[in-house]
Amino acid sequence: MPNTRVTHFKPSAAHVAIIMDGNGRWATRRGLPRLAGHKRGVERVREVVEACPELGVTHLTLYAFSTENWKRAEDEVAGLMRLFRWYIRKEAAKLVEAGVRLRFIGNRSRLDEGLQKLMASVEDMTRENTRLNMTVAIDYGGRDEIIRATERMIDAADAGELKRSCLDEDTISRFMDTGGLPDPDLVLRTSGEVRISNFLLWQAAYAEYNFLDICWPDFTAETLSHCLENYNSRERRFGAVMG
């Protein structure tokens, strides 16, 4: 019989995934346009990326634009796309220097060609880096990703590369946009909203969650450090009985 009793399991969170919410509210409360909140949000991204390696975080996944975000006002969507382009152009060289590998998940085909090229080029430039694995979700939805993975599996099966008897959790994970990346240990969401909004539906099955009352533009490296301390005080049992 398999031994289902596991001992106390308290690793530090190596993979942190963040739903960066509340940029719009942060700006509106200050009488600023919503885009000012997103700009401040990018500054927080830089701060958090810098802090991760010192805090023992090896993987950081950020939810930057959901499949639902296309429904926003045209000027806000255009502003966000401009910010993504600006971030990649401005940060690419620094990411290389800092040892950060940047990857994107999501449906790229609906993004403009210029942005798609920039994304591919920064992925290429940072391919050899190992200090921090950063993944940015753009035009991403968990259900949409499951459809993409299923299509890839059907294609592989048609090509004779995937057999029904090989279908298990690891195989499905490999076909997701995040194939090859570990599952998140800790998922954070800012802004006080308590929902997962279609983020990493498959991957976060056993993740710990932490919902924070502050908006993303107020999230600092210190906030991340507190969240990790809180995570370290929790017990993760993965459905098993405590030893």
Q: What is the DSSP letter of 45?
A: H
Q: How far apart are CA 20 and CA 125, in angstroms?
A: 25
State in angstroms the smallest separation of the CB of 21 from ligand FPP: 5
Closer to ligand FPP by Cβ: residue 12 or 220: 220
DSSP conformation class of 10: -
Site for ligand FPP in 151-170 (CB under 6 A): none
Place of tokens 């930057």: 64
Number of chain residues interacting with ligand FPP (CB under 6 A): 21
CB of 111 within 8 A of CB of 104?
no
Structure tokens at 45: 């991204």
106 binds ligand FPP (CB under 6 A): no
Rounded Cα distance between 35 and 68, Å, is 17
Q: Which of 6, 14, 25, 129 binds ligand FPP (CB under 6 A)?
A: 25
Q: Buried (b) or exposed (e) across 88-126, using 16+ Cβ within 10 A? A: beebbeebbebebbbbbbbbeeebeeebeebbeebeebb
In terms of CB distance, is 111 or 162 closer to ligand FPP? 111
Contact between 223 and ligand FPP (CB under 6 A)?
Answer: no
Stretch that binds ligand FPP, among 60-68, 93-101, 114-122, 220-228 (CB under 6 A): 60-68
- Cα–Cα distances in angstroms (integers) from residue 85 to residues 24, 110, 113, 119, in the given order: 20, 15, 11, 8
Stretch that binds ligand FPP, among 2-10, 78-86, 104-112, 195-203 (CB under 6 A): 78-86
Chain mean position to CA 80:
17
3 among known catalytic residues: no
Cα 78 from Cα 87, distance rounded (Å): 14
Q: How near is the Cβ of 34 to ligand FPP at its closest, in Å?
A: 6
SS3 62: strand
User: Does the annotation count 21 as an active-site position?
Assistant: yes
In this chain, which stretch among 57-65, 101-109, 115-123, 198-206 interacts with ligand FPP, using CB under 6 A?
57-65
Residues 200-219 that bind ligand FPP (CB under 6 A): 216
**How far is the C-alpha of 16 from the C-alpha of 185, rounded, in Å?**
6
- Enumerate the β-bridge partners of residue 186: 16, 208
Q: Where does this chain touch ligand FPP (CB under 6 A) — which range of 35-43, 115-123, 155-163, 175-183? A: 35-43
**Closer to ligand FPP by Cβ: residue 69 or 116:** 69
The residue from 69, 107, 129, 198 that is catalytic is 69
17 is a contact residue toward ligand FPP (CB under 6 A): no
Looking at the annotation, which residues are catalytic? Answer: 21, 69
Which parts of this chain interact with ligand FPP (CB under 6 A)? 20-25, 38, 41-42, 45, 62, 64-65, 69, 80, 83-84, 87, 136, 191, 216
